Amino acid sequence: MLSLRGSSRSSAILKPLLAFQRKPVLISPRNLSRGSPRRNLCFSLKPSDRNGLASASSTSETYVLDDTPMSGMEDVLVSYIFGKKRATEVAHSVWKHVVKKGDTVIDATCGNGYDTLALLKMVSDELGRGCVYAMDVQKDALVNTNTLLEESVNANERDLVKLLPICHSELDKVIPEKASVRLVAFNLGFLPGGDKAIITKPETTLLALEAAKESVMPGGLISLVVYVGHPGGWQEWETIQAFASGLPVDEWVCCKFQILNKPWAPIPVFLFKR
């Protein structure tokens, strides 16, 4: 549902939109000023045809939403689509729109530590608040992550990261009962530079997603980068799609960015909790 609270034009805008009138409607959030240099998330729709489905049209007007976690992400997403940015860079850019200083976040598959380090920089503040739970089943991953942190941050920041030698499917066992988790991040597949026979599995990833669903606070995010080019990767992707598709639309907003003619490209997936 589109939220336009606080706008004096809300009723006038929503009535024709919900009635699917033939004239397209321009939605302007209350904080969008004329002449503003801000970049906004935009999409185009054509009023529904006889079968009730909305369709794209080059002649339709633009609907502008700039109060969403994806606002300002146009350049990053286009860069990914055209091969200028990696899937992990897209994920990090989205995280920056969601994570706040002092937050508790989870790196459910820390790998070589680059996601852990990025999250630490997002949550740590001058008061020493913020916490990153980083977990992995492989000892090499934990060693690599710890080495990267020791080389990259000071001792006070390092103390905000808790490295845990467990499977991501057990993340619910390490989070304090009343903790408010802003983000749970997954970078699936195998450890880069490690044993490619050790991979994340559909059954354990599903358990992890179920736990993450209960842990993430409203306004939070479950983020996944799904690698499908290795044996077992496509099966894991199908499990993730089924999970996301089953989340209630009044509680979650779920999206993926998939290159259709590059079937083995990594797939960034974002599950926003309302």
Tell which wins on pLDDT, 5 or 132.
132
Angle between helices 74-81 and 87-98 (to 10 degrees): 170
Work out the burial of residue 1: count CB atoms within 10 Å of its CB; fewer than 13 is exposed, 13-18 middle, 19 or more buried. exposed
Give CA–CA dist 121/123, Å, rounded: 6
Please report the sign of the dihedral spanned by the C-alpha atoms of residue 64, residue 70, residue 74, residue 77.
negative
Of 134 and 7, more confident: 134
What pLDDT does 20 receive?
A: 34
According to DSSP, the β-strands at 216-226 and 181-187 are: parallel
- Looking up tokens 């808790």, which residue turns up? 162
What band does 79 get if pLDDT is binned at 50, 70 and 90?
Answer: very high
Amino acid at 123: V
Residue, of 7 and 174, whose pLDDT is higher: 174
Poorest-pLDDT segment among 68-72, 81-85, 226-230: 68-72
How high is the pLDDT of residue 159? 97
Q: Kindly tell me the number of DSSP H helices and DSSP E strands found in the chain.
A: 8, 9
Q: How confident is the model at residue 67 (pLDDT cuts 50, 70, 90)?
A: low
Q: Do 101 and 124 form a contact (C-beta atoms < 8 A)?
A: yes
Query: What pLDDT is recorded for position 17?
Result: 34
Does 105 score more than 80 pLDDT?
yes
pLDDT of amino acid 201: 97
β 161-164/252-256 pair status: unpaired
> What pLDDT, on the 0 to 100 scale, is given for residue 249?
96
Mean pLDDT of the chain: 81
What pLDDT, on the 0 to 100 scale, is given for residue 66?
55
pLDDT band at 71 (very low <50, low <70, confident <90, very high): confident
DSSP 3-state assignment of 147? helix
Show the tokens assigned to 48: 């529904």
Which pTM value belongs to this model?
0.77
The model's confidence at residue 72, banded by pLDDT at 50, 70 and 90, is confident
